[in-house]
């Protein structure tokens, strides 16, 4: 494909993807299936790799994040970002209305809007291009979170018109994303977020933008700093213009003329709030005419032309009948309160997660306690507090379990975690997940052993741990659904091949907490045999470069478990290789002695004609180099193929040594090379 053809295709892909993103994330009206979007997106990714000069800031590929930020710079708001005053009853709301009606000459109508429970943000555009995003902070000084906001797909990187404007709104986490995030955190033994607002705020303040990108945040924009820029006279018209420019606005807003209509709006959405896909904690009324905003102005903290009505809390008292402990896929053991059923936020609730033992102790929840129950973020049942004056006289402090409720193994409480954890590899609750991970590509790479087959093996009691894979017979596999002689032989052959893997694959496949593929290789290269690793102390492991205290402690804790030792013996008896078959760090260093790339930080960029990028990387690492992804002052060498883009420019600016592909190949072959 020529550059001209690529440019035309890239521009079309960007146009389509930007349109489809807006339809999906802004308008909630998708017009293509997900796989169509994905296919076009991948096409764009591949073309931008081949033609990096075609990458632009507004490309959909630039939303994925990946930067690790050093921190957040402070931003001054030229026009302060004010908070809203709160009222908690219709009477107080009526008093606000009466004050405002008396203070202006015109009759006041209001734009009633839902009060989104998120984090206030400000977005600045220059000539239609998104250039800066910030938090409210204290209203005068906020934080620059531009890079994180670029990952939020409902925020347009380019407006439909080339205008310069500052707008404000709310960044929030949808309820489904909130539930999924807390589930992941609970399984990982991490502290869960109390509500979607905290989750959104924590996500926007991530220093790793890739993490923010995974949090599935969204936005509603509702305020224009200078309405004259859009030639609008009312708040309701402003929302329409914001939508035309490409922003996501909340379509549930309504113009109201009096307190009767406002009360009806409140009642309607107080009933509907649990059916929404996002969390609201009230409604906001704003004088619709901007001339009224100008006339009445603001106090130091709040506007006089708007007010927030907060919904009363939906909370019930109920009795704790029992505390049940369940084990998740990563071994985290979680307490759940079993209670008398109560009606809460439109549903019957009889269970509430207590998340971890520390929280249970902190709230001092006991069997037969009366407790106050609400829904965190109107989603997750949560006990807010114990009603102490109703506690029985014979009440006793609840004792946390010391053994796994499923397998009986001793539970561990790792220093950096809030969770209790079962690390017994033979625990039935862990086996299914551990089997799928064990067979995965980066672990033992057992082709054909997917989650559905793992489920069948477990349910039919053909295996009880990963070692059982190596005892399977053809007759056993033929009893499973959709298994014929050919598929049986294919799976048994894949299992047999995996016996010969170097031990770092096994170590990674065991699913040890904090031990990823890279750490598994480093540790295996140092100890060479899993039996030697099993007897190592944390101090022995810490001598390895890049291995820290957390990984060392996790390995020692894991191998101190008797069930783990039994599992290793079973794998040994099944003739699974337990030794390191690769080159050690010392051997690589010896081979690389005198290498022109020894101890250098190298960046590969552009398209290589004669080499695969993966082969180039392998050679560099085998000869003592460290291959990194971005150019900085610490970069020693840039290897540039054709169509090298911004990385080449930056390397030239920093006066970093640059090789073309031919020079690199000559160095690989040990041939002296001089540029023409």
d(CA 566, CA 247): 59
Cβ neighbours of residue 518 closer than 8 Å, sequence gap 6 or more: 546
Q: Write a three-state SS string for 502-569.
A: CHHHHHHHCCCCCCCHHHHHHHHHHHCEHHHHHCCCHHHHHCCCCCCHHHHHHHHHHHCCHHHHHHHH
Closest CA to 373 of 386, 389, 359: 386
Q: What is the C-alpha to C-alpha distance for residues 206 and 212, in angstroms, rounded to an integer?
A: 6
Judged by DSSP in three states, 58 sits in coil
| Beta-carbon count within 10 A of 32 CB | 16
Angle, CA of 109, 113 and 118, to the nearest 5°:
150
Helix-helix angle 259-272:90-103, to 10 degrees = 140
CB 424 within 8 A of CB 430: yes
User: What sign results for the dihedral spanned by CA atoms 555, 557, 558, 563?
Assistant: positive
What the block records as the tokens of 29 is 């009206």
In this structure, are residues 367 and 397 in contact, taking their beta carbons and an 8 Å threshold? no
Distant-in-sequence, close-in-space partners of 8: CB < 8 Å, separation ≥ 6: none
Instruction: Return the bridge partners of 1, or none.
Output: none
Query: 246, 106 in Cβ contact below 8 A?
Result: no
Q: What is the DSSP secondary structure assignment for residue 497, as one 8-state letter?
A: H
250-254 contacts at long range (C-beta below 8 A, 24 or more positions apart): 250/113, 250/114, 250/116, 250/220, 250/222, 252/113, 252/114, 253/111, 253/112, 253/113, 253/114, 254/111, 254/112
CA distance 125 to 159: 8
Per DSSP (E only), the strands in 422-509 are none
Number of H helices, E strands in the chain: 25, 21
Catalytic residues: 115
- Tokens representing 648 are 């080449």
* Three-state DSSP state, 387: coil
**Contact, 196 vs 278, CB < 8 A?**
yes
Strand spans (E) along 345-450? 347-353, 370-376, 380-386, 420-421
**Burial, 533: exposed, middle or buried (Cβ in 10 Å; 0-12, 13-18, 19+)?**
buried
């Amino acid at each position: 494909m020529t550059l001209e053809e690529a440019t035309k295709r890239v521009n079309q892909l960007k146009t389509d993807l930007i349109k489809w993103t807006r339809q999906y994330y802004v308008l909630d009206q998708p017009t293509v299936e997900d796989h169509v979007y994905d296919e076009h997106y991948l096409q764009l990714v591949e073309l931008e790799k081949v033609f990096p000069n075609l990458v632009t800031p507004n490309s959909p590929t630039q939303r994925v994040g990946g930067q690790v930020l050093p921190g957040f710079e402070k931003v001054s708001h030229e026009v302060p970002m004010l908070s809203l005053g709160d009222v908690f009853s219709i009477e107080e709301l009526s008093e606000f209305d009466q004050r405002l009606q008396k203070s202006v000459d015109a009759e006041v109508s209001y734009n009633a809007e839902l009060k989104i429970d998120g984090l206030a943000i400000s977005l600045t555009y220059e000539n239609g291009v998104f250039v800066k995003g910030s938090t409210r902070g204290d209203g005068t000084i906020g934080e620059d979170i531009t890079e994180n906001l670029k990952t939020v797909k409902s925020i347009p990187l380019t407006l439909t018109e080339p205008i310069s404007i500052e707008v404000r709104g709310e960044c929030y986490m949808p309820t489904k994303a909130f539930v999924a995030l807390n589930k992941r955190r609970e399984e990982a033994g991490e502290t869960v977020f109390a509500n979607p607002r905290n989750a959104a705020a924590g996500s926007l303040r991530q220093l790793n933008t890739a993490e923010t990108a995974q949090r599935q945040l969204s936005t509603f924009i509702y305020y224009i700093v200078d309405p004259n820029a859009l030639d609008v006279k009312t708040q309701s018209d402003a929302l329409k213009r914001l939508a035309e420019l490409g922003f996501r606005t909340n379509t549930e807003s309504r113009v109201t003329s009096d307190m009767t209509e406002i009360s009806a709006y409140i009642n309607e959405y107080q009933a509907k709030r649990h059916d929404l896909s996002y969390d609201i904690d009230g409604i906001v009324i704003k004088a619709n005419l901007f001339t009224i905003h100008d006339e009445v102005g603001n106090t130091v903290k709040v506007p006089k032309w708007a007010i927030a009505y907060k919904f009363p809390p939906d909370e019930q008292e109920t009795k704790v009948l029992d505390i049940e402990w369940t084990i998740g896929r990563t071994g985290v053991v979680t307490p759940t309160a079993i209670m008398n059923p109560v009606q809460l936020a439109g549903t019957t609730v009889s269970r509430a997660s207590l998340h971890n033992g520390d929280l249970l102790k902190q709230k001092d929840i006991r069997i037969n306690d009366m407790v106050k129950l609400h829904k965190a973020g109107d989603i997750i049942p949560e006990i807010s507090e114990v009603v102490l004056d109703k506690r029985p006289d014979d009440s006793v402090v609840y004792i946390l379990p010391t053994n796994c409720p499923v397998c009986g193994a001793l539970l561990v409480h790792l220093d950096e975690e809030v969770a209790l954890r079962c690390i017994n590899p033979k625990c039935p609750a862990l086996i299914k997940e551990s089997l799928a991970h064990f067979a995965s590509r980066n672990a033992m790479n057992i082709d054909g052993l997917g989650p559905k087959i793992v489920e069948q093996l477990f349910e039919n009691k053909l295996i009880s741990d990963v070692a059982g894979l190596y005892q399977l017979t053809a007759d056993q596999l033929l009893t499973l659904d959709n298994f014929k002689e050919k598929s049986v032989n294919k799976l048994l052959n894949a299992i047999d091949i995996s016996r010969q893997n170097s031990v770092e694959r096994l170590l990674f496949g065991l699913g040890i907490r904090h031990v990823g593929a890279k750490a598994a290789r480093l540790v295996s290269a140092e100890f060479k045999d899993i039996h030697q690793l099993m007897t190592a102390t944390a101090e022995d492991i810490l001598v390895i470069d890049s291995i820290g205290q957390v990984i060392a402690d996790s390995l020692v804790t894991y191998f101190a478990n008797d069930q783990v030792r039994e599992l290793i013996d079973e794998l040994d008896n099944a003739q699974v290789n337990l030794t390191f078959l690769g080159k050690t760090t010392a051997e690589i260093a010896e081979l690389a002695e005198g290498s022109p790339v020894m101890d250098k930080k190298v960046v590969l960029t552009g398209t290589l004609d004669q080499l695969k990028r993966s082969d180039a990387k392998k050679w560099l690492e085998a000869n003592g180099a460290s291959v990194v992804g971005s150019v900085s002052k610490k970069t020693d060498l840039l290897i540039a193929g054709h169509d090298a883009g911004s990385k080449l420019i930056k390397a030239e600016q920093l006066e970093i040594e640059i090789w073309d592909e031919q020079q690199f190949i000559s160095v690989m072959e040990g041939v002296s090379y001089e540029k023409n």
